[in-house]
Structure 1
């Protein structure tokens, strides 16, 4: 199998960060990879873990991850058909990247019912110390 090709823009041709992010672009790819880090999953198991994704979008994202060589798709010849998705060896090399994103999110992002917001750690420390916040 040949190595996957990055989708590069004209801004920074050849930039390793841009090239790497091109394989993770889209709202769902990183989250799909996160869930596949621990176990092989069937399509509907992934859908249950990602309730906000549509079936069409999950199919599209899985196909792109498979085409890039990050995810493998195994079809079992049974009735009804069974398909499982797993990280490939190449996909598993992204484990430290995905784990680092998870840690950063835990430390810097609050999830509110009306959306996500970055934490202002300095402001939180000031509040904890008794300082007032100016609007």
Structure 2
């Protein structure tokens, strides 16, 4: 979409640029673009995973960061948290049906990334 000049109720003119508002790509990136978010969803694709196991799967992220991302994903409805009645108490996470809708493009992102020349992401 192209930027337009619009007039408000008081006669002031403003540039209305749809890209200033969250466009579909920006909205999606706000939901799934956080560091470790895609990786967490990807590691939950095969079934419920306990927190410590997930922390090991997502190498390089601190447990604090993983916990923060999981809280965000749970609030967005992409991940479900379950407290297990064990001694000691443990928590497991699983991807929701809504979260599963992201797996298709995460798989495409994985394939695209694997096709890139070595070292490109490190630059």
State if a TM-score over 0.5 links the two structures. Answer: yes
Compared CA separation, residues 109 and 69, structure 1 to 2 (3 A): farther
Shift in Å at residue 14 of structure 1? 4.2
Q: In the alignment, which residue of structure 2 is the partner of 1:102?
A: 110
Q: In the alignment, which residue of structure 2 is the partner of 1:35?
A: 43
Contact 1:41 1:86 in 2 (8 A): yes
Deviation digits for residues 90-129 of structure 1, max 9, x if unmatched? 001111111111111111152xxxxx425xxxxxxxxxxx
Compared CA separation, residues 46 and 16, structure 1 to 2 (3 A): same
Contact 1:12 1:18 in 2 (8 A): no
Q: In the alignment, which residue of structure 2 is the partner of 1:16?
A: 24
Q: In the alignment, which residue of structure 2 is the partner of 1:66?
A: 74
Contact 1:74 1:83 in 2 (8 A): yes
Aligned match for 2:120, one of 117, 120, 127: 117
- For these two proteins, the number of residue pairs brought into alignment is 104
Q: In the alignment, which residue of structure 1 is the partner of 2:87?
A: 79
Q: Give the alignment's TM-score, normalised by structure 1.
A: 0.70
Q: Give the alignment's TM-score, normalised by structure 2.
A: 0.77
Deviation digits for residues 24-46 of structure 1, max 9, x if unmatched? 12210011111111221111111
Aligned match for 1:92, one of 91, 97, 100: 100
- 1: CA distance, partners of 2:106 / 2:46: 12
Structure 1 stretches of at least 4 aligned residues deviating more than 6 Å after TM superposition: none
- 1: CA distance, partners of 2:20 / 2:52: 38
